[in-house]
């Protein structure tokens, strides 16, 4: 559904202003490439926080706490 809305929005932009629509179509892969390091950083931070949470909750899990 998200792809369909994106496509309809791009078609509407193409009807209203085709140069901007073509520019957006050409810049989309560049934006995707620039966002990759941020995604990797987010995945890494999520893993680090999960590890810290697991280490902090380990004593409670060993003593029989619910979790």
- Residue 67, pLDDT score: 56
Reported as a single tens digit per residue, the pLDDT across 2-40 is 899 999 999 999 999 999 999 999 999 999 999 999 999
Domain locations in the chain? 2-61
Report how far residue 26's alpha carbon sits from residue 63's, in angstroms, rounded to the nearest whole number.
Answer: 57
């Amino acid at each position: 559904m998200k792809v369909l809305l994106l496509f309809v929005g791009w078609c509407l932009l193409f009807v209203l202003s085709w140069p901007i629509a073509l520019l957006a179509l050409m810049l989309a892969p560049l934006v995707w490439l620039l966002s990759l390091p941020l995604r990797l950083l987010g995945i890494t931070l999520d893993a680090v926080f999960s590890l810290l949470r697991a280490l902090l909750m380990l004593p409670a899990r060993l003593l029989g706490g619910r979790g």
